[in-house]
Amino acid sequence: MNNDELQAILGLDTEDRFEYFLDLVGEEREVWILVNSQEHFLKLHSDEHGGFEYLPVWPAAEFAAAYAGDDTELKPRSIPLPQFLKRWLPGLDRDGIEIGIFPGGDKSVWITEPSDLEQDLRDELSRF
């Protein structure tokens, strides 16, 4: 993917990026997160609606790396989709952590519950 394509996709609104995320994850069967050198995943805090934590996720390494920018501490890490569905989503749900789907360059993000994302991903997979 060249830089123009990357920037065009990052410039989409949150709903279009959400749809792009579902399509690409459905095809590639992996989800991308950012981890630090101690292998801890990036978790962000939002002050909206009383405050909550969320795990940002991307459909490809290039998007996660673009979000990290110059932060050399953060590296993209792939999670196979079956593992994400069976382990990560239930664990995040249990811990009360939301999912931030495909944060854009402007830091806008689609926030969803782990159980809702699981259903959306399973619906996407049923199309294949």
Q: What is the pLDDT of residue 18?
A: 97
CA angle 33, 107, 42 (to 5 degrees): 30
pLDDT in tens, 80-102: 999 999 999 999 999 999 999 99
Q: Which domains does the chain have, with CATH numbers?
A: 3-126 (3.40.1350.90)
pLDDT in tens, 35-88: 999 999 999 888 876 789 999 999 999 999 999 988 889 999 999 999 999 999
